[in-house]
């Protein structure tokens, strides 16, 4: 079967066509995959501006859709999948309305899917995952720790009480005068950091790391960065040594908390594997340290290829495939965008 998927939950407009074959277990072949990023538009705000993002989706979605269909070379579309939430509601509606119109035109069934689940299920693109698993979804809008006993069997163990991990990178990068999105900018500066001979010390808190729950909090980390930054003389603030040291410490503080809480959940729930997803999972240092720690404790570890960590429609297509039984083409009106859609 051929699945056409649409993703517009935040600032990336994605359309993909994925062919699913295979007998015992599904084999996914990506016929086309286009993502139009709005980074340039949101750069000057240092974050995503919803009304602007909606306008960009409206402009870009028909273009991206056309490209994706052309590259799929006229293959028949058997199923339409669209991200229904969570995300920025005005943006989600652009995708949902487009998908509904398309379903009417093509007389094809349509499935609305959960974006968090999509960040998890992209791990099934080439791999077989072993259950039970603990999944950590870390993106610009979400930080959730989820117990997964199988597909469609989820329990949210914990989540951020304030900022998401990616949001923390984006906001602290802005304080340091680095670009948007902040995650890749912080990672680049952190990679240049060389500790020996440093004239000053940078030490940031690891919020909630020793608490027994599985929740996170990153807004205190951002405030600590702001205070440290403001306490430095202008010359230091602008020096590359300071920026690099700060970037390395921000990155490590986030990684320390994420790894500690995930491993705790994995041990407490006696799972077999650890699964990562979301834009922040594209971070090299995070991937490396997770891999080392998971193998030390004998957990199977899965992380998507970097390009499928950040928002894309291939993950939406895979999620639709696993929910294909729920397809409904008559009851189009019931399909809605929901900013706060929760995993069930
Ligand atoms: O999953 P995603 O594309 O969108 C949301 O659903 O939010 O995640 C975007 C987030 C941004 O906050 C961005 O700074 C972060 O992922 N990010 C990274 C890296 N690449 C993207 N964070 C750390 N290291 C990276 N290499
Ligand atoms: Zn996302």
DSSP string, 211-252: -SSS-B--HHHHHHHHHHHHHS-HHHHH-HHHHHHHHHHHHH
| Cα 118 to averaged position of ligand 1 atoms, centre (Å) | 15
Rounded to a whole number of angstroms, the CA Rg of the chain reads 20
- The domains found in the chain, sorted by start residue, are 2-122+308-334 (3.30.420.40), 128-303 (3.30.420.40)
Ligand 1 pocket, Cβ-based, cut-off 6 angstroms: 10, 139-141, 166, 169-170, 181-184, 187, 278-280, 282-283, 310-311
| Cα 232 to averaged position of ligand 2 atoms, centre (Å) | 35
| Cα 315 to averaged position of ligand 2 atoms, centre (Å) | 10
The pick from 280, 286, 288 for probing ligand 1's pocket by mutation, whose C-beta has the most ligand atoms within 8 angstroms, reads 280
Phi–psi pair at 36, nearest 5 degrees: -105, 115
User: Which pLDDT belongs to residue 280?
Assistant: 98
User: Which pLDDT belongs to residue 330?
Assistant: 59
Closest ligand to C-alpha of residue 118 is 2
Residue nearest to atom 14 of ligand 1 (CA): 183
Coil, strand or helix: which one is 325?
Answer: helix
Residue nearest to atom 1 of ligand 1 (CA): 279
User: Which pLDDT belongs to residue 81?
Assistant: 98
DSSP category for residue 279: G
Q: In what order do the strands lie in the sheet with 79-85?
A: 27-37, 12-21, 2-7, 79-85, 110-114
Task: Provide the residue-wise pLDDT of the chain in tens; the chain has 344 residues.
Answer: 999 999 999 999 999 999 999 988 999 999 999 999 998 888 877 778 899 999 999 999 999 999 999 999 988 999 999 999 999 999 999 999 999 999 999 999 999 999 999 999 999 999 788 999 999 999 999 999 999 999 999 999 999 999 999 999 999 999 999 988 999 999 999 999 987 777 778 999 999 999 999 999 999 999 999 999 999 999 999 999 999 999 999 999 999 999 999 999 999 999 999 999 999 999 999 999 999 999 999 999 999 999 999 999 999 999 999 999 988 665 888 999 999 999 98
User: Which pLDDT belongs to residue 20?
Assistant: 97
Q: How far is CA 154 from the centre of its chain?
A: 17
User: Which pLDDT belongs to residue 187?
Assistant: 98
Residue nearest to atom 10 of ligand 1 (CA): 140
| Cα 85 to averaged position of ligand 2 atoms, centre (Å) | 10
Residue whose entry in the numeric block shows the structure tokens 């960040």: 119
| Cα 311 to averaged position of ligand 2 atoms, centre (Å) | 5
């Amino acid at each position: 079967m051929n699945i056409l998927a649409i993703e517009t939950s935040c600032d990336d407009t994605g359309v993909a066509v994925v062919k699913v074959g295979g007998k015992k277990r599904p084999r996914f072949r990506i016929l086309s995959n286009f993502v139009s990023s709005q980074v340039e538009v949101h750069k000057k705000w240092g974050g995503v501006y919803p009304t602007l993002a909606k306008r960009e989706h409206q402009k870009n979605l028909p273009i991206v859709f056309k490209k994706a269909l052309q590259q799929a070379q006229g293959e028949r579309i058997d199923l339409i999948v669209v991200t229904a939430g969570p995300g920025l509601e005005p943006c989600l509606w652009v995708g949902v309305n487009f998908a509904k119109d398309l379903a009417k035109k093509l007389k094809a069934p349509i499935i609305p899917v959960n974006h968090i689940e999509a960040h998890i299920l992209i791990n099934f693109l080439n791999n077989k995952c072993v259950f039970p698993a603990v999944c950590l979804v870390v993106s610009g809008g979400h930080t959730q720790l989820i117990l997964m006993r199988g597909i469609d069997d989820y329990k949210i163990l914990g989540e951020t009480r304030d900022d998401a991990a990616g949001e923390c990178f984006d906001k602290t990068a802005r304080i340091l005068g680095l670009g948007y999105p902040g995650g890749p900018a912080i990672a680049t500066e952190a990679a240049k950091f060389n500790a020996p001979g440093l004239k000053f010390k940078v030490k940031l808190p690891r919020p909630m790391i020793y608490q027994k729950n599985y929740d996170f909090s990153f807004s205190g980390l951002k405030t600590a960065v702001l205070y440290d930054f403001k306490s430095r003389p202008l010359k230091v603030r602008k020096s590359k040594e300071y920026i690099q040291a700060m970037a390395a410490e921000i990155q490590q503080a986030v990684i320390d908390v994420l790894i500690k809480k995930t491993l705790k959940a994995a041990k407490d729930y006696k799972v077999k594997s650890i699964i990562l997803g979301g834009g922040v999972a594209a971070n090299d240092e995070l991937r490396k340290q997770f891999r080392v720690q998971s193998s030390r404790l004998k957990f199977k570890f899965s992380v998507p290829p970097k390009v499928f960590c950040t928002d894309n429609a291939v993950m939406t297509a895979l999620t639709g495939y696993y929910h294909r039984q729920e397809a409904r083409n008559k009851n189009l009106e019931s399909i809605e965008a929901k900013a706060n859609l929760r995993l069930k």
